[in-house]
Amino acid sequence: MSDNEALWINQAIHGDDHAFGFLVERYQKPVFSLCYRMLGNSRDAEDAAQESFIRAYIHLKKYDPHRSFATWLLSIASHYCIDKIRKRQLPIVSMEALPDEIIADRNVPNPEAKFSEATREAMIQDLIMKLKPLDRAAVILRYWHEYSEVEIAEALNLSVSAVKSRLYRARQALAESYLALERLSIAEERRLYESPTL
């Protein structure tokens, strides 16, 4: 933790909103990114990220300065998103990133590359959304935030062995979903190019 950060935390504990604003400025991107990966759309991600910062501000006195502030903050955001997903109790599909809705924009430089990137992003998000909330959080922290298993365990209040087993199960599920998607896409391609039956 930088000296500035420790100072901002200390000032925010004593009611300085401006100091907490610096912390929001610094951590908005990782918190928003986590919420986006967890919830699958920008509107819910914005709401969850804002609420996570509000919760962090309210409970700032409970923060242990010996722990990483980023881990503590991402822990709050992860738990908030997990609760939100469980309350929905509905299958969650990313409405912003459905592959069918992606259209190559001819006005941008290299539209094919942009299109391919958007398709890949949509595919990743789609696969992630099929995981259980806690497994999803573990995968997001591992891949996008490069957290170790120990850090994930700390953030999600799990044991290290539980994190290992969740990551194992999540990777298995992701690989199966990916292979199923690939088989489907190959079958679709074959159907398109095969000769029509007479």
Partner 1 sequence: MSHQPYETYLFSGEHLDQDQQNSLEAHLMTCEGCADIAHAMNQLDQAFFSSTAPSPMPGFTDRFQARLAAHRLERQSRNLWLMTIGLFALASLIICTIMLLHLNQINWAYELTQFIARTSLVAGQIRQFLSILKPLRAGLPLFIPLMWMLTTISLAFIGVIFATWLQSIIRLYSSVQERGSKS
Under the rule (CB under 8 A), what is the footprint of partner 1?
17, 21, 24-25, 28-30, 32-33, 36, 42, 45-46, 49-50, 53-54, 57, 120-121, 123-124, 127, 142-144, 164, 167-168, 171-172, 174-175, 178-179, 182
User: Angle at CA 184, nearest 5°, toward 179 and 185?
Assistant: 100
- Rounded CA-CA distance 97/153 in Å is 30
Distance in Å, CB of 174 to partner 1, minimum: 6
Write b or e for each residue in 151-182: b if 16 or more Cβ atoms lie within 10 A of its Cβ, otherwise e. bbbbbbebeeebbeebbeebeebbeebeeeee
Considering the complex, state which of residue 45 and residue 85 has its C-beta at the smaller distance from partner 1. Answer: 45
Distance in Å, CB of 198 to partner 1, minimum: 35
Considering the complex, state which of residue 50 and residue 68 has its C-beta at the smaller distance from partner 1. Answer: 50
Distance in Å, CB of 195 to partner 1, minimum: 28
Would you say 38 and 78 are in contact if contact means Cβ atoms under 8 Å apart? yes
Distance in Å, CB of 131 to partner 1, minimum: 12
Considering the complex, state which of residue 12 and residue 134 has its C-beta at the smaller distance from partner 1. Answer: 12
| Residues 6 or more apart in contact with residue 31 via CB below 8 angstroms | 49, 52, 53, 73, 74, 77
Helix residue spans in the chain (DSSP H) = 3-13, 17-39, 42-58, 69-88, 111-129, 133-143, 149-156, 160-193
Cβ neighbours around 113 below 10 Å, total = 11
Considering the complex, state which of residue 134 and residue 139 has its C-beta at the smaller distance from partner 1. Answer: 139
Considering the complex, state which of residue 38 and residue 194 has its C-beta at the smaller distance from partner 1. Answer: 38
Distance in Å, CB of 104 to partner 1, minimum: 18
